Amino acid sequence: MASKHVGHAIGIDLGTKYSCVAVWDDKNGGAKIIHNEQGNRTTPSCVAFTDSHRLVGDAAKNQAPFNPKNTIFGNNALIYIDAKRLIGRKFSDSIIQADLNLWPFKVVAGVNDKPMISVEYKGEEKLLAAEEISSMILTKMKEIAEAFLESPVKNAVITVPAYFNDSQRKATQDAGAIAGLNVMKIINEPTAAALAYGLQKRGNCFEERNVFVFDLGGGTFDVSIVTIKDDVYEVKATAGDTHLGGEDFDNRMIDFFVKDFNKKNKVDISENPRSLRRLRTACERAKMNLSFVKETTIEVDSLFQGIDFCSLMTRSKFEELNKDLFVKCMDTVEKCLADAKVDKNSVHDVVLVGGSSRIPKLQNLLQEFFLGKDLCKSINPDEAIAYGAAVQAALLAENLSIAPDLVLLDVTPLSLGISLKGDIMCVLIPRNSMIPTKHEKLFGTFEDNQSMAKIAVYEGERTRASDNNLLGLFCLSDLNPSPRRHPIKVCFDLDENGVLKVYAEESKTGKKKEITIVNEKGRLTAQEIKRMIQEAEMYKDDDEKFKEKVEAKIALEEYVYKMSAFMEDAKVSSKIKSSQKKNIEAAIGEGRELLDGNQQNVETADFENCLHKLRSIFDPII
Ligand code: ADP
Ligand code: MG
């Protein structure tokens, strides 16, 4: 069968802290994780802006401590910074408001109350939507794949946390579009992990298996139950916490040491961002060590006012500091099983995903909960999601030879419905319904001769509609004058990406209206996306220009160095005339002046012209 999608299809795990990209490798019958230009298999989900250029990935993360205000998503930055959390939300959203104080970068309200990140780029304020930041990470992952595959890449499957709502998923699609990707599908992270796991263990999957996926990352937590039978993967339930992860464990340790430092030295470092940042880096490193050793020391030279910091942290102390958070994780595990009506005895495999799933205490609690069952650690927890996404991408592109019949069934994370009279939530698509799905219901008007019907669409689990999340609102007007209970059909159509369309139809006349949830949630308009695509091109141009400038500077530097080395070599330089010597020395001086001077207004051409001039003097002599 001819492929629906031309060219390569990649899988991208767009993580809050790290992202990972993979591609199906038909020769080896598996997905291949692609390393970045630094040789790393995961890339920090980090973007930074400076007065001269923009950085993405490792380079952005490395400079984070010196430029926290203009570094988005950073791993080392002061407190959790994460634009993925801004995606598809409104500025007035309580979650955003709570996070605002913690973020070192500035967030302001934009058009339609959409939160915008404010950064300083080349000395000017620039407002960026979260989708734009995500698109920069996606572009980076695309480029990593392109460098490896040595060809342009268009098609991608992108993963999102199972807990992402409708508008967050759409925003992720928009981010993909801005990055110039054809987003073939958005899939849930745990589903991707189960897929990776299922494929690697295909031998065992002839009977139905219930796979429990435990994914604890840097800032989000997802658990899912996926059943695998032959080639069918069905997500039975998902539960999670969008505000729980490795960062929280780091924070507990930081709080502990800030108090400890205060007690011992009578100084408070809690108001000093630089000290906190350095302590954070050290604490995260200690936390990671404690997954492998029972105790570790934390040292930070001159942490505050010249006072060195040195302390011991044991695994048991770490566990005590985070006890309630670990319990919270286990509560979510229980909730997920209850939702799926799956007994823990009938879980066949427990799969660990996400960096924080390496914490021994959590592994113990999980193992205890599942009555001593061995946990599956065969897949690298940092790579499983990208692996699964690459499998899905290959399936959609129809270039997967290993499992041509494989089917992925996903579920919707939140119930979807409309509000009825009295603010009652009437669910049309219950939570954990398999997608894609379509549900219809007939509703009657409340009054005689009602001329219009208002349809308010909500997502959430509360009985009172207004306690849930309003997705959109529309009216079906000019209804036929009729007695009350005049039938109106409402149809919810949830596509395979979890994106919802709602129609309302007056049954008698066939008068129909479709909802546009888009603006209600501050989703980007087509125009805005177009503008952002253009801007992405501009960034690319800027990046390239910057690279050219650096290269021109290095070329000049090398040439000046070559000239100096020549002059210093007495044997060689004694063979040339003194007038030539003078010329060369003057040229070296000129080169150095340009190289060492203020670079603000120096252009690529200045370096090139200088090199050209030096060459015209020096080349004929040697
Ligand atoms: P995300 O999916 O949110 O991008 P990851 O799955 O990449 O996150 O996990 C990153 C988190 O895992 C970080 O908070 C990091 O500190 C934590 N982590 C990584 N390795 C370890 C380890 N050995 N022990 C404990 N936590 C770890
Ligand atoms: Mg992750």
What string of DSSP letters covers 54-122? EEETHHHHHHGGG-GGGEES-SSSSS---GGGTTT--TT-HHHHHHHTT-SSEEEE-GGG-EEEEEEET
Alpha helices in 150-213 (DSSP H): 166-178, 189-200
Tokens of 11: 């899988």
Distance from residue 246's CA to the centre of ligand 1 (Å): 6
Residue 176 Cβ contacting ligand 1 at under 6 Å: no
**Average pLDDT, integer, range 434-458:** 87
Same domain, 540 and 557: yes
Distance from residue 390's CA to the centre of ligand 2 (Å): 15
Please choose from 12, 14, 16, 17 the residue to mutate so as to test ligand 1's pocket, defined by most ligand atoms within 8 A of CB.
17
Distance from residue 20's CA to the centre of ligand 2 (Å): 9
CATH number at residue 609: 1.20.1270.10
Mind listing the pLDDT tens digit for each residue in 4-36? 566 789 999 998 889 999 999 888 878 999 999
**Average pLDDT, integer, range 63-77:** 68
Same domain, 103 and 181: yes
Same domain, 384 and 446: no
Residue 219 Cβ contacting ligand 1 at under 6 Å: yes
Residue 288 Cβ contacting ligand 1 at under 6 Å: yes
Same domain, 176 and 267: yes
Beta bridge partners of 272: none
Residue 354 Cβ contacting ligand 1 at under 6 Å: yes
Distance from residue 63's CA to the centre of ligand 1 (Å): 20
On the 0-12 / 13-18 / 19+ scale of CB atoms within 10 A, 412 is buried
pLDDT band at 240, cuts 50/70/90?
confident
Please choose from 21, 87, 287, 380 the residue to mutate so as to test ligand 1's pocket, defined by most ligand atoms within 8 A of CB.
287
**Residue type present at position 485:** R
**225 located within any domain:** no
Ligand nearest to the CA of 17: 1
Same domain, 49 and 68: yes
Cβ 89 vs Cβ 96: under 8 Å:
yes
- Residue 78, pLDDT > 80, answer no
Ligand 1: which residue has its CA nearest to atom 19? 355
Q: Look at residue 201 in the predicted model and tell me its pLDDT.
A: 61
Instruction: Tell me which of 17, 61, 84, 553 is the catalytic residue.
Output: 84
Mind listing the pLDDT tens digit for each residue in 546-573? 878 888 998 999 899 988 888 888 777 7
Same domain, 451 and 487: yes
Tokens of 436: 């894609």
Cα–Cα distance, 166 to 501 (Å, whole number): 10
Cα–Cα distance, 253 to 258 (Å, whole number): 9
More confident of the two residues 327 and 162: 327
Distance from residue 82's CA to the centre of ligand 2 (Å): 13
**Residue type present at position 512:** K
Mind listing the pLDDT tens digit for each residue in 398-431? 755 555 555 556 677 678 899 987 788 899 998 7
Q: Look at residue 517 in the predicted model and tell me its pLDDT.
A: 59
> How many CA atoms does the CB half-sphere of 344 hold within 13 Å?
14
Q: Look at residue 346 in the predicted model and tell me its pLDDT.
A: 92
Residue 246 Cβ contacting ligand 1 at under 6 Å: yes
Report which ligand 1 atom has the smallest distance to the Cα of 247.
14
H-run or E-run covering 538 = helix 526-568
Same domain, 318 and 427: no
Please choose from 249, 288, 293, 321 the residue to mutate so as to test ligand 1's pocket, defined by most ligand atoms within 8 A of CB.
288
Which of 470, 504, 524 marks a domain boundary? 524
Instruction: Tell me which of 58, 82, 99, 189 is the catalytic residue.
Output: 189
Q: Look at residue 279 in the predicted model and tell me its pLDDT.
A: 93
Q: Which of 82, 425, 410 is nearest to 242 (CA)?
A: 82
DSSP 460: S
Report which ligand 1 atom has the smallest distance to the Cα of 42.
7
Cα–Cα distance, 283 to 197 (Å, whole number): 32
**353 located within any domain:** no
Q: Which of 182, 169, 155 is nearest to 84 (CA)?
A: 169
Distance from residue 282's CA to the centre of ligand 1 (Å): 14
**Average pLDDT, integer, range 156-170:** 81
Q: Look at residue 71 in the predicted model and tell me its pLDDT.
A: 87
Catalytic annotation present for 13: yes
DSSP 480: P
**55 located within any domain:** yes
Instruction: Tell me which of 82, 132, 215, 241 is the catalytic residue.
Output: 215
Of how many residues is the chain composed? Answer: 622
Catalytic annotation present for 84: yes
Residue 73 Cβ contacting ligand 1 at under 6 Å: no
Ligand 1: which residue has its CA nearest to atom 5? 217
Ligand 1: which residue has its CA nearest to atom 24? 288
Which of 475, 506, 524 marks a domain boundary? 524
The share of the chain scoring above pLDDT 90, in percent, equals 39
Range of the domain at 545: 527-619
What are the residues whose beta carbons fall under 8 Å from the beta carbon of 162, sequence distance 6 or more? 188, 189, 190, 191, 222, 224, 235, 238, 240, 413
Residue 289 Cβ contacting ligand 1 at under 6 Å: no
Q: Give the 3-state secondary structure of 258-322.
A: HHHHHHHHCCCCCCCHHHHHHHHHHHHHHHHHCCCCCEEEEEEEEEECCEEEEEEEEHHHHHHHC
**Average pLDDT, integer, range 483-504:** 86
Residue 17 Cβ contacting ligand 1 at under 6 Å: yes
Range with lowest mean pLDDT among 81-90, 115-124, 498-507, 610-619 = 81-90
Which of 401, 436, 462 marks a domain boundary? 401
Q: Look at residue 356 in the predicted model and tell me its pLDDT.
A: 96
**Average pLDDT, integer, range 103-107:** 74
Cβ 520 vs Cβ 500: under 8 Å:
no
The helix, strand and coil proportions of the chain, stated in percent and rounded to the nearest 5, come to: 40, 25, 30
**355 located within any domain:** no
List of long-range contacts for 114-117, beta carbons under 8 Å, 24+ apart: 114/90, 114/522, 115/86, 115/89, 115/90, 115/91, 117/72, 117/83, 117/86
pLDDT, mean over the chain: 84
Report which ligand 1 atom has the smallest distance to the Cα of 245.
14
- Residue 300, pLDDT > 70, answer yes
Distance from residue 587's CA to the centre of ligand 1 (Å): 53
Ligand 1: which residue has its CA nearest to atom 26? 356
Residue 217 Cβ contacting ligand 1 at under 6 Å: yes
Q: Look at residue 87 in the predicted model and tell me its pLDDT.
A: 59
Cα–Cα distance, 535 to 527 (Å, whole number): 12
Same domain, 294 and 392: yes
Cβ 135 vs Cβ 485: under 8 Å:
no
Helix axes 130-149, 526-568, angle to 10 degrees: 60
Same domain, 203 and 306: yes
Residue 101: φ, ψ to 5°: -65, -25
Distance from residue 381's CA to the centre of ligand 2 (Å): 9
Q: Look at residue 166 in the predicted model and tell me its pLDDT.
A: 73
More confident of the two residues 403 and 370: 370
**Residue type present at position 533:** I
**Residue type present at position 191:** T
Strands 209-216 and 349-353, bridge-based pairing: parallel
Q: Look at residue 339 in the predicted model and tell me its pLDDT.
A: 84
- Residue 378, pLDDT > 80, answer no
Ligand nearest to the CA of 137: 1
More confident of the two residues 534 and 41: 41
Cβ 336 vs Cβ 330: under 8 Å:
no
- Residue 588, pLDDT > 80, answer yes
Alpha helices in 110-165 (DSSP H): 130-149
Report which ligand 1 atom has the smallest distance to the Cα of 15.
4
The share of the chain scoring above pLDDT 70, in percent, equals 88
Q: Look at residue 444 in the predicted model and tell me its pLDDT.
A: 86
More confident of the two residues 197 and 158: 158
Cα–Cα distance, 378 to 280 (Å, whole number): 30
- Residue 103, pLDDT > 70, answer no
**224 located within any domain:** no
Same domain, 568 and 519: no
DSSP 476: E
Please choose from 313, 356, 359, 385 the residue to mutate so as to test ligand 1's pocket, defined by most ligand atoms within 8 A of CB.
356
**369 located within any domain:** no
Q: Which of 346, 350, 384 is nearest to 365 (CA)?
A: 350
CATH number at residue 493: 2.60.34.10
What torsion, rounded to 10 degrees, do the Cα atoms 101, 102, 104, 109 define? Answer: -50
Same domain, 470 and 396: no
Instruction: Tell me which of 13, 143, 505, 506 is the catalytic residue.
Output: 13
Q: Look at residue 199 in the predicted model and tell me its pLDDT.
A: 66
Residue 460 Cβ contacting ligand 1 at under 6 Å: no
DSSP state string for 405-428: T-EEEEE-SS-EEEEETTTEEEEE
Catalytic annotation present for 215: yes
- Residue 138, pLDDT > 80, answer yes
Q: Look at residue 520 in the predicted model and tell me its pLDDT.
A: 38
**Average pLDDT, integer, range 198-209:** 64
Ligand 1: which residue has its CA nearest to atom 13? 218
What are the residues whose beta carbons fall under 8 Å from the beta carbon of 101, sequence distance 6 or more? none
**357 located within any domain:** no
Catalytic annotation present for 113: no
Residue 359 Cβ contacting ligand 1 at under 6 Å: yes
pLDDT band at 76, cuts 50/70/90?
very low
Same domain, 254 and 181: yes
Cα–Cα distance, 236 to 37 (Å, whole number): 39
pLDDT band at 295, cuts 50/70/90?
very high
Q: Look at residue 399 in the predicted model and tell me its pLDDT.
A: 57
Residue 291 Cβ contacting ligand 1 at under 6 Å: yes
Ligand 1: which residue has its CA nearest to atom 10? 218
How many domains in the chain? 3
pTM beyond 0.75: the answer is: no
Range with lowest mean pLDDT among 124-133, 351-360, 532-541 = 532-541
**351 located within any domain:** no
| Residues 375, 376, 380, 385, CA torsion sign | negative
